Homo-oligomer: A and B are copies of this chain.
Amino acid sequence: MKVELINTGSELMLGRVLNTHQQWLCRRLADLGHVVSRQVAVADSGIEIQTAVREALSRADLVITTGGLGPTSDDLTRELIAELLGRKLIPNEAVLAHIENFFTQRGRPRPSKTAVETYVPEDALVFQNANGTAPGLAMKIGDGGWRPASGELHAHGHAAPEPRSRTPAPKWLVMLPGPPRELRPMFDKFVVPLLKQEFATKIFVCRTLLTTGIGESRVQEMVEADLQPLVERGLDVGYCARPGAVDVRLTAGGATAEALVRQGEDVVQRLLGERVFGFDDEEIEQVVVKLLIRQKKTLALAESCTGGLIAHRITDVPGASEVFLGAVVSYANSAKEKFFGVRAESLAAHGAVSESVAREMALGARERFGADFALSVTGIAGPGGGTPEKPVGTVFIALASPAGVEVKKFLNVWDRATFKQVTATQGLEWLRRTVSA
């Protein structure tokens, strides 16, 4: 089975927007055993979109398009594909009702332009959009093979798909809306069941072990020799470095896949131990919140150089309010004094980025919020503010708990945004190990 993706959008071709659909959809499809063989991005133009869809349908069993289903004048995908396939667009009452309801809930009148979104190609499956107005669409194409609606579309010197000697299996064309917050839940709710129903499931097992605290080459050095016998039996091992974390990806196909991946997982767990903080799509903040809820413990934060990022990551986890009391982002020194009782002498003697200030921030936050655990971070994010003794990237992290307070020093030499992420992950990782201990 061949799968291709087509991302439409002039903003992609002008480089104004980062294409995140490619990675997300490729990942989800691989997890279902379908590795995408080609991904194409084209502008919102008739000939480009129709050519790309026609070519993809000539090669693949499943073609997924993204974008161009909205209400504005450059949203052309629905119309162009209906034309290409020779299907009429028919108004759909359920979609209209859904869109009316969307605006009613938000207390706004329905813009007349959204009318175009209620037109659906004949015989298409409709995926209602839980987070927007434009529905997704899926069409089964031909039990006798796909034929384009019109010979005029054979531009660019390409031949039409070869006539097939046997009756081919039907193909599916799935059209998803462009905004990620609309596309992703729609894919999981509607497309995954469709794929399971329409295409023979292939056994493909993928397990990602999420590690933190050591670099990519070191991770590989630690595990590759012991994984080698499994690799020889068909296990595929990949390493991927992310800010502050390294993923170890184990994949295999076929009848022995499950066993191979499980044995690989055992090897990695044994060798990396507690450096493995989670699996697959888990985030370290999800692990931390889960542990705190399980142990009925509360958390407070005192953030300086991470600027609220740790609180933001913690509060992205549903249910965080059970255990997270709050944070103070004390950017100014006066805020460190006022909110945590950090002593003016500590600030004067050691500077805001110092072991003693980190310690006083953590103790102050624990006491003021009345929390079981308090994490504090103070450092120099850059690009300015470094000195020879404390270069850009210097960070002190302190953790106050019922057992007392400890401080660690790090040097995170990265651009500002990566610095914040790496530092937040270090703090969360320390918290994870302390809470789970």
Contacts and interface: CB of A to CB of B under 8 A. Distances in A.
B418 A315 contact: no
B238 A44 contact: yes
A11 interface: yes
Interface residues of A, number: 123
A277 interface: no
A27 B15 contact: yes
Given A15-B28, A240-B16, A315 B325 contact: no
A252 interface: no
A335 to B, nearest CB: 4
A38 B48 contact: yes
Contact of A70 (B112, B241, B316): B241
13 contacts: A12-B39, A18-B23, A19-B19, A39-B42, A74-B239, A113-B221, A157-B159, A185-B415, A315-B331, A324-B332, A326-B331, A334-B369, A338-B369
A27 B16 contact: yes
Interface in A259-318: 301, 303, 306-312, 314-316, 318
B243 A181 contact: yes
A383 B247 CA distance: 29
The binding surface of chain A is classed by DSSP as mixed
A368 B314 CA distance: 25
Interface stretch (A87-95, A165-173, A210-218, A428-436): A210-218
Interface in A191-220: 206, 208, 215-218, 220
A256 interface: no
Contacts of A308: 303, 308-312, 314-315, 327, 329
A310 to B, nearest CB: 7
Contact of A42 (B38, B303, B310): B38
B307 A240 contact: no
Contacts of A190: none
A13 B239 CA distance: 14
A111 interface: yes
Interface in A98-112: 105-108, 111-112
A369 B158 contact: no
A238 B159 contact: no
A122 to B, nearest CB: 25
A402 to B, nearest CB: 19
B316 A325 contact: no
A384 interface: yes
Given A14-B206, A14-B251, A334-B370, A23 B27 contact: no
A161 interface: yes
A20 interface: yes
A125 interface: no
Across the A-B interface, the 5 shortest Cβ-Cβ residue pairs:
A307-B315, A15-B27, A308-B311, A15-B26, A308-B308
A179 B241 contact: yes
A41 interface: yes
B332 A325 contact: yes
B328 A327 contact: yes
Contacts of A243: 181
Given A238-B11, A331-B315, A413-B106, A217 B18 contact: no
A221 to B, nearest CB: 6
A426 interface: no
A22 B41 CA distance: 9
Contacts of A301: 329
Nearest to A208: B16
A220 to B, nearest CB: 5
